[in-house]
Amino acid sequence: MATAAYLSADATVSAHRASAVTTSDSTVFEQPTRALYIGAAGNVVVDMADGGTAVTFVAVQGGTILPIQVTRIYTTGTTASSIVAMY
């Protein structure tokens, strides 16, 4: 059985790339994130890298780095802004 790329990520290694996020209810990232930077406070609705249903992180404070691997950040339900995906 092949190991998913996100499972082999070394959590002790810092991000090496980042990009501003445009939220979307349909777009799936080509590569799971290593973390998300939340620039302005609010809720963040995501699909985690291992699948399953959408998860809502409620009342995330601006300036927070969420150490989560996600494949999608939804527009619907996401009220935080200035989100940066870190890889």
Residue 71 is assigned to a structural domain of this protein: yes
Residue 41 is assigned to a structural domain of this protein: yes
Q: Which residue has 């291992």 as its token pair?
A: 50
Residue 69 is assigned to a structural domain of this protein: yes
On the CB side of 34, how many CA atoms lie within 13 Å of its CA? 14
Residue 19 is assigned to a structural domain of this protein: no
Work out the mean pLDDT of the chain and round it to a whole number: 90
Residue 61 is assigned to a structural domain of this protein: yes
Residue 43 is assigned to a structural domain of this protein: yes
More confident residue, 76 or 51: 76
Per-residue confidence (pLDDT) for residue 2, from 0 to 100: 42
Alpha-carbon span 2 to 26, nearest angstrom? 26
Identity at 57, one-letter amino acid code:
F
Residue 79 is assigned to a structural domain of this protein: yes
Q: Which residue has 């494949």 as its token pair?
A: 71
Domain that holds residue 75: 28-86
Alpha-carbon span 2 to 19, nearest angstrom? 28
Q: What is the pTM of this model?
A: 0.86
Residue 8 is assigned to a structural domain of this protein: no
Query: What's the total number of domains in the chain?
Result: 1
Confirm if 43 and 60 have CB atoms less than 8 A apart. yes
Res 8 pLDDT > 70 = no
